[in-house]
Amino acid sequence: MSNNRAALRYAKAILSLSEDQKVADETYNNMQLISETISDSDELQSMLGSSLVKSDVKKNALLAIFDKKINTVSQGLIDLLISNKRLSDFGAVATQYVKLYDSLNGKEVATVTSAIPLTEALKTQVLAKVKELTGNEASLENIINPDILGGFILRVGDIQYDASIANKLNVLKREFNTQN
């Protein structure tokens, strides 16, 4: 399991270094690519987390996957995580970097938890609503949780709107229990 505190520290350090070298935008694009690639591949996650696969094999695999697609700061992060035995946190560091960068640039991260994946049309509607509510642009993170049964839970910053069926059922249950 990834250590979010450590990932956040590495992300802050990489963001600072990227800003110093004036490549924060390029590193942002790299971190988006890295985060999406790792989260989309169970095999890659397994390889990064495996203690049986040697570090140099992991590094060569990552460099082959991201060959000429990532800058020197991002490549340096791979070396740093290997030397500190934290390569399993690579995806989490990339995700934290994206969140930090967005936050610094006034872009919110809207988390939508739904029972099924959102369609593109729904994503567009949610992003428009978030812009209306916050006044900021937003990126969308869709978390799938069948336990909410239907509807959605929208979280932007410290605002949460729960329109899930599970929540509505819980409200009804509480109302029935208080009437008895």
138: phi then psi, degrees, rounded to nearest 5:
-145, 150
Torsion angle of the four alpha carbons 55, 56, 59, 61, in this order, in degrees rounded to the nearest 10: -110
Structural domains in the chain (count): 2
The pLDDT value recorded for residue 180 is: 66
CATH of the domain at 60: 1.10.520.20
Note the pLDDT of residue 4: 82
Residues 152 and 131 in one domain: yes
Whether 99 and 115 share a structural domain: no
Distance CA 62, CA 75 (A): 9
**Last residue of some domain: 73, 103, 133?**
103
Domain end among 103, 134, 163: 103
Nearest by Cα to 100 from 144, 139, 49 = 139
Q: What is the mean predicted confidence (pLDDT) over 62-71? A: 88
Q: Please tell me whether residues 31 and 78 are part of one structural domain.
A: yes
Q: Is the same domain home to 15 and 74?
A: yes
Confidence of residue 1 (pLDDT cuts 50, 70, 90): very low
Q: Are 140 and 126 in contact (CB under 8 A)?
A: yes
130 and 84 within one domain = no
Q: What is the pLDDT of residues 107-166, one digit of tens each?
A: 878 889 998 998 999 888 888 888 887 777 888 888 999 998 888 888 887 788 888 888
Q: Which of 58, 87, 103 lies at the terminal end of a domain, its last residue? A: 103
Residue 179 has pLDDT above 80, yes or no: no
Chain segment 29-50, per-residue pLDDT in tens? 999 999 999 999 999 999 999 9
Do residues 111 and 99 both lie within one domain?
no
Question: Using an 8 Å Cβ cutoff, are 78 and 90 in contact?
Answer: yes
Residues 116, 96, single domain; the answer is no
Domain range for 162 is 107-179
